[in-house]
Amino acid sequence: MKEKIKHLIERLGENNIPAFYTNSRIEAFDKVMSMIPKGSVVGFGDSLTLRQIGIVDALEEGNYTFLNPWKPGISSEKNIEFKKQALTSDVFVTGTNALTLDGKIVNVDGHGNRVAAMLFGPSKVIIVIGINKIVRDLEKALEKIKYITAPLNVKRHTEFNPIPPCAETGECTDCNSSWRICNKTTIIERQYDNDRYKPIITMVIVGEELGI
C-alpha cells in the first residue's frame, strides 16, 4: 500500500495537485488545520471524513467564519446562502468520493455546491481522503460511488423526503427521486500551475479508512 500511495502522490504531483500523506486522523487534523489561517472564511462540502477527524468541530469552535450549511437547526435559506458564499471562501474543505491510482478526483453531487467549489472559486481547496476511497481507475470510481457511496449517503441524510429507493434496497435503480443525490458528476484530472494561475487544490491522504 505504501508503494501505491507513494506512486499516487507522484502522479498527483505531475498533475499539479500537491498531496500529503498522514499516517492517522490525528496527523491529518494537524496538517489540515495548519493550512487554514486563523480568521479565514471557510466553506464546507458536507463530509463524514472531516467530521470523523475533528475538523468540523474545530472550525465551529475556533476563530473562523465557518460556513456550515448543515449546522443543526439551520434554515433552508441559510443553507443556500452558505453554499453560495462558500464559492468565494478563503478555504474550502471537503472530502471526495473517490481517487484513482492515476490521480483523478471523482465526485458525484446531488445539489452541486460541493463539486462547484472544488472546481473554481475558493482561494484554497483542501480535500481529505481515507485510503478506502482509493480505487484502480475511473470505471471502479464510478461503480463505487453508484453502488456503495450513494446508497449509504442517502441513508445518512434523514431529512430527505421522500428517501431515494437505494436507501432501502442498497441498489441503484437510476431513480427519479426528487432527492436523488447522483445528479452532477465531476472528474478533476489536473490543475493549472503557470505564470498566471497557481494550483488551488491540495490533497491530504490519511492512512485510515474514513468516510463512505
Between residues 130 and 151, which has the closer beta carbon with respect to ligand SF4? Answer: 151
Residue 188's alpha-carbon distances to 33, 96, 159, 165, 205, in angstroms, are: 24, 11, 30, 29, 16
Q: Which residue has the cell 471537503?
A: 94
> Which of 111, 140, 180, 184: binder of ligand SF4 (CB under 6 A)?
180
Pairing of strands 201-206, 134-135: unpaired
Residue 208 dihedral angles phi and psi, to the nearest 5°: -140, 160
Residue 65 binds ligand SF4 (CB under 6 A): no
Between residues 144 and 146, which has the closer beta carbon with respect to ligand SF4? Answer: 146
Residue 181 binds ligand SF4 (CB under 6 A): yes
Residue 204 binds ligand SF4 (CB under 6 A): no
Q: Taking contact as CB under 6 A, which single stretch among the options 44-52, 76-84, 145-153, 203-211 is the one that binds ligand SF4?
A: 145-153
Residue 62 binds ligand SF4 (CB under 6 A): no
Closest residue by Cα to residue 94 from 83, 79, 103, 102: 83
Residue 173 binds ligand SF4 (CB under 6 A): yes
Residue 138 dihedral angles phi and psi, to the nearest 5°: -60, -40
Between residues 37 and 170, which has the closer beta carbon with respect to ligand SF4? Answer: 170
Which positions touch ligand SF4 (CB under 6 A)? 146, 150-151, 154, 164-166, 172-175, 177, 180-182
